[in-house]
Amino acid sequence: MGDISNIGTEKLSITLFEKCASSNLEKFFLSKNLQLHRGQSVEDIDKNKTLIVVTRNEIDRWCAGVTQDIDQDGNIGDMKLKEIEELFMSSHQDSKLFTDLFMKGHSHLGRKLWFKNLFDLVNRGVGNTYFIDMDTLNQEKFWKWVCKKDSTWPNYKDWFSEWQEGYHKYPPEHIHKPITEWVRILLDNDERFWVIRDTLNANQQIIDSLFESKFWLKTF
């Protein structure tokens, strides 16, 4: 079985998966003195513990991940779109470059996500495992539910406005946004990327199948 990073209390934790608000969650709740479990094995998660699994539309996640991986040194603003396009196109003749750009790091195809690990957790009946979409994290009703579920969680009334100020999506002027949207267009229209598109769509079907299951948190 695999590992699951999460942050929370002894009673309730929220998962930290790349491009699923993990940086926001970790930075914010570490400042609230919650516990960070980096790469915790499935077997080590208390069977009585509530685990909230944060998901995101798979294509959105992957496209944003590709852009972030390109911008590891923070210099994407100095690159012309044509330079990025040439990098992408050259990857089709270089399998290692293709893998590094599109199947590793933040742009992985699910290997670091919950697909096997969390199903192991669910199938073993460990704890109270719930799935949510990333946007749920910006709903006050969700955090009210968390605090009701776990009375040791910091009271949302004391920090929710602060969370809202810090938790955000790309603003319209963010330098990553046009590159991310361009990656999305490539994924849809360049058949050389369709093996990736098909994998992401298969991943998304798994997430979609949870919507009507007992594991999807429907309170909101």
Residues 6+ positions from 81 with CB-CB distance below 8 Å: 178, 179, 182
Name the residue range of residue 143's domain.
3-210
pLDDT string in tens for the chain (220-residue length): 458 899 999 999 999 988 999 999 999 999 999 999 998 887 888 888 999 999 999 999 999 999 888 877 556 666 767 788 888 888 888 888 888 888 888 888 876 555 667 777 777 766 788 999 999 999 999 999 999 999 999 999 999 999 998 876 656 667 778 888 889 998 999 898 999 999 999 889 888 988 888 889 986 6
Query: Does 158 map to a domain?
Result: yes
Given this model, what pLDDT does residue 73 score?
Answer: 57
Is residue 153 one of the residues assigned to a domain? Answer: yes
Give residue 1's pLDDT. 43
Residue 103: per-residue pLDDT:
84
Query: What is the predicted pLDDT for the residue at 86?
Result: 85
Q: What is the reported pLDDT for 149?
A: 95
Among 137, 207, 127, CA closest to 166 = 137
Q: Which of 47, 59, 52 is nearest to 22 (CA)?
A: 52
Residue 36, domain member (yes or no): yes
| Count of alpha carbons within 13 angstroms of residue 214, beta-carbon side | 5
Return all residues near 37 (Cβ < 8 A) that are at least 6 apart: 4, 5, 6, 7, 13
Q: How many domains does the chain have?
A: 1
Q: Residue 191: inside a domain, yes or no?
A: yes
Residue 216 lies in a domain: no
Tell me the three state secondary structure of residue 12.
strand
User: Is position 220 within any domain?
Assistant: no
Confirm whether 219 is domain-assigned. Answer: no
pLDDT for 128: 87
Of 6, 5, 11, nearest to 152 by C-alpha is: 11
Q: Distance of alpha carbon 106 from its chain centroid, rounded?
A: 9
The pTM (predicted TM-score) of the whole model is 0.88
* 215 belongs to a structural domain: no
In angstroms, what CA-CA distances link 107 with 35, 58, 138?
27, 10, 24
pLDDT for position 206: 85
